[in-house]
Amino acid sequence: MTVTPADRLLGGALRHSAPRATALLLLTVASAGLGLALPGALGHTLDLLLAHRPAAPWLVLCAVLTGLIVLLDALDGLLTGITDARGTAWVRRRLTRHLLAAGPRATERYGSGDLVTRVVGNAAHAGTAPTALAASLAAVITPVGALIALAYVDLWTAAVFLLGMPLLALLLRAFARATGDCVARYQEHQGDMAKRLVEAVGGARTIAAAGTQRRETARILAPLPGLARHGHRMWEVLGRSTAQAAMLVPLLQIAVLCVAGVRLAQGEVTIGGLLAASRYAALATGIGQIVGQLNTLVHARAAARRIAEALDVPAMRYGRRPLGAGDGTLKLHGVTVTRGDRTVLRGLDLTVPGGTSVAVVGRSGTGKSVLAAVAGRLADPDSGSVVLDDVPLPDLTHDALRRAVGYAFERPAVLGTTLRDTLALGSYAPGQTELESAAEAACAAPFIHRLPEGYATRCADAPLSGGEAQRLGLARAFAHAERLLILDDATSSLDTVTELHVTRALLRDVKAATRIVVAHRAATAARADLVAWLDDGRIRALAPHAELWQLPDYRALFATAPKEAAHA
């Protein structure tokens, strides 16, 4: 039997929960054992009472057995809840850590909404596997033990029950097969709908401005018919199995009681034995518990398959080399990057001299953001090399790379509890003086000081405009980057005056001497030392803006009037 990644994930969850799962197994086995002992004790007590013989010790035993069963069931419920919570937390931590280590490639493959579904809903199902497995073993022990006890009461009653066992086995097998397929497809539709919902929430303003709420609602709910179809199918399978069991189980119990009655008339079974046989027949046909636990395991395995798919996204691996002395020279050689069936960068060569600023320009879709991602190793190229100060980026340790390279984005994430937290976010925490200097350089300090609690203001209580959020992102990058600073359209929401101040700060107030700026404005490109003109996945030209401005094709990139261009 082939061990799948989903099975390995569930095995890891089981090993993590091994002590609690073992304790739970012992509890359920003990409870099952006591449950099996109780019918025999009740039957013997009844025989003693009918024979007018002393039965007090047996009455006490029955009471003790009943009390212990109630106590163990309560402990079982408590331990099950704890184990499920811990198992779910383990799966979520593992998946979350892997997704963060994988970086943007995970969201590119599955989308944010689908990943949220896997981290939240699917992890909750997969985390229940250890308790479901322990409970399933106990659920099997009960009918097997009851059948043995039934044979001890009377072999003929056990033989009658055995005649119906193949039908019970076929019922369980059909249920597992049908349910597994339905659950997998149901979870896929859930993920698709969550992906669409997250996209819509992120574009809520655009949807409201376009007046397309109804159309977007229909798009989000498009997977709903499939979700409903597979959901109904799951309930149909469960209902059919329950109905079949509801027909088969009573028939088996009636057959056992009939045989036990005949044996009672023959004097081979006592009245107490008849009582015990009826109870053991009910326990032996406890298919409901097995079906319930089997259903939980099917859900857990289907969820584990979806989680294993996300875990299959390769995580970024780092080397062991530190970054030695250097001026921040960056070299890209033969860099090729594909996205799906499209080649975005084609054998690209680019050298960014240390201590210079290079603006990357090009038409929309030419791969400017992909180049920015590869330059600082947010993504690895499919082929080619990226070298910073003669050290290939994959050879650097995680901390060395992230201290050397800083990023600022068009829509920076405001993470952390306070504004100070979001500015300090990084592989190391700069001091307060560094943070304030970076905020001044990024023109973020003025609006931060206007807030009631300044840098201690909670992010949730700081209503930020697009430009203010960008300035926070710039300040964070300024505070952390020591060698190379990459701005991926990080000034697009700034007004002209603020952008001018930020650009000047880039030249004199930022630790990182080498800067790469993805630019859409002619003015931004004009302030850079060099412009890398990206066209059809390659560098078409690398020269100062003033020199390139003489070319009509270059001027067409910005679609500006000659007067504005001259001013830039």
Q: Would you state the pLDDT for residue 336?
A: 94
Q: Would you state the pLDDT for residue 88?
A: 92
Backbone angles phi, psi at 403, to 5 degrees: -80, -30
* pTM for the predicted model, two decimal places: 0.74
Q: How far apart are CA 225 and CA 254, in angstroms?
A: 43
Q: Would you state the pLDDT for residue 346?
A: 92
Q: Please name the helix (run of DSSP H) or strand (run of DSSP E) that holds residue 563, with its range, or none.
A: helix 562-567
List the chain domain ranges.
5-196+227-311, 330-567
Residue 431 is encoded by which pair of tokens? 């001091």
Q: How far apart are CA 438 and CA 328, in angstroms?
A: 20
User: Treating both helix axes as pointing N-terminal to C-terminal, what angle do 129-153 and 287-311 enclose, rounded to 10 degrees?
Assistant: 160
Residue 388 is encoded by which pair of tokens? 């910073």
Backbone angles phi, psi at 553, to 5 degrees: -65, -35
Tell me if 186 sits within 8 A of 309, measured CB to CB: no
Residues ≥6 apart with Cβ < 8 Å to 490:
408, 409, 410, 412, 470, 473, 474, 477, 517, 518
pLDDT by 10s per residue, the chain, length 568: 577 888 889 888 889 988 998 899 899 888 888 888 888 888 888 888 888 888 888 899 989 999 999 999 899 989 999 999 999 999 999 999 998 888 777 887 888 888 888 888 889 989 998 998 888 877 778 877 877 887 888 788 778 777 766 776 676 666 666 666 677 778 788 788 888 887 777 777 677 777 777 888 888 888 888 888 888 887 777 777 666 666 666 777 777 778 878 877 887 888 887 888 888 777 776 655 666 677 788 888 888 998 998 899 888 889 999 988 888 899 999 999 988 788 999 999 999 999 899 999 998 888 899 999 999 998 899 999 999 999 999 999 998 998 899 888 888 888 888 888 888 887 777 888 888 888 888 888 888 888 888 888 888 888 888 888 888 888 888 888 888 999 988 777 777 778 777 777 776 667 788 999 998 888 888 888 999 999 988 999 999 999 999 999 998 888 743 444 434 4
Residues ≥6 apart with Cβ < 8 Å to 239:
none
Q: How far apart are CA 20 and CA 128, in angstroms?
A: 12
HSE value, Cβ hemisphere, 13 Å, CA-based, for 237: 23
Residue 520 is encoded by which pair of tokens? 């859409």
Annotate 22-57 with DSSP letters as a single string. Answer: HHHHHHHHHHHHHHHHHHHHHHHHHHHHHTT---HH
Tell me if 102 sits within 8 A of 313, measured CB to CB: yes
Residue 256 is encoded by which pair of tokens? 């056992």
Tell me if 560 sits within 8 A of 522, measured CB to CB: yes
Tell me if 474 sits within 8 A of 490, measured CB to CB: yes
**What residues does 338 pair with on adjacent strands?**
343
Q: How far apart are CA 257 and CA 454, in angstroms?
A: 80
Tell me if 387 sits within 8 A of 395, measured CB to CB: no
HSE value, Cβ hemisphere, 13 Å, CA-based, for 208: 5
Residues ≥6 apart with Cβ < 8 Å to 273:
43, 47, 153, 154, 260, 264
Q: Would you state the pLDDT for residue 352?
A: 93
Q: Would you state the pLDDT for residue 176?
A: 63
Question: Is 543 exposed, middle or buried (CB count within 10 Å of its CB: 0-12, 13-18, 19+)?
Answer: middle
Q: What is the CA radius of gyration of the chain?
A: 34
CATH topology of domain 5-196+227-311: ABC transporter transmembrane region fold (1.20.1560)
* Best CATH choice for the domain 330-567 from the list 1.20.120.1200, 2.60.120.620, 3.20.20.70, 3.40.50.300: 3.40.50.300
Q: Would you state the pLDDT for residue 74?
A: 92
Burial string for 204-220 (b: 16+ CB within 10 Å, else e) reads: eeebeeeeeeeebeeeb
In three-state secondary structure terms, 390 is coil
Kindly report the number of other CB atoms within 10 A of residue 50's CB atom: 12
